[in-house]
Amino acid sequence: MASERFTAALNAQIAREFAAAHQYVAIGAHYAAETFPQLADFFYRQAEEEREHAMKMVNYLIDRGSQPDIGQVDAPRQAFADHVEPIVLALEQERSVTVRISELFGIARETNDYLSEQFVQWFLEEQVEEEASMGDLLAVAERTRTVPMLLEEYLARETPGERPGD
């Protein structure tokens, strides 16, 4: 069984992962309403990935003999001034997740919970990819501030075949 301290921290992270998925659905819906299908699809995929992360954590706790506490998800932000603002929010969210995952790793190490430390390692590696991906998207979004359709073209070119249901 994982330590009580780690279990409590992981339960809090589960709620944050579901909240991130919720936020990404809201961002995807914003882009869909603005007729940016590539951006909408990108964020819908991100939402599914965050949900998968949450479920991985839920299943880990169950496998270790702990009861998951899913927690509550607040309403996501849904209104944005332009096509760049949601990506800024997403990058901030990913950076926050990196801090929280690092804290989980520290708790596992401090409590000599080697199995949990190993489990969290995967998420640390994933966060490097998540921050880089969102950082790249933001850089392109800022360069295309006056012609947002260029961001759509960038996503179509850089993520071919990555559509919901593929």
How far apart CA 54 and CA 125 sit, in angstroms, is 16
User: Is 58 contained in some domain?
Assistant: yes
CA 107 from centroid of its chain's CA atoms: 21
Count the domains in the chain: 1
User: Is 109 contained in some domain?
Assistant: yes
User: Is 166 contained in some domain?
Assistant: no
146, 33 Cβ separation under 8 angstroms: no
User: Is 90 contained in some domain?
Assistant: yes
The domain that holds 52 is classified in CATH as 1.20.1260.10
Q: Which domain holds residue 86?
A: 4-158
pLDDT in tens, the chain (166 residues): 788 999 999 999 999 999 999 999 999 999 999 999 999 999 999 999 999 999 999 999 999 999 999 989 999 999 999 999 999 999 999 999 999 999 999 999 999 999 999 999 999 999 999 999 999 999 999 999 999 999 999 999 988 665 544 4
User: Is 165 contained in some domain?
Assistant: no
Q: The whole model's pTM is what?
A: 0.92
User: Is 69 contained in some domain?
Assistant: yes
User: Is 81 contained in some domain?
Assistant: yes
User: Is 105 contained in some domain?
Assistant: yes
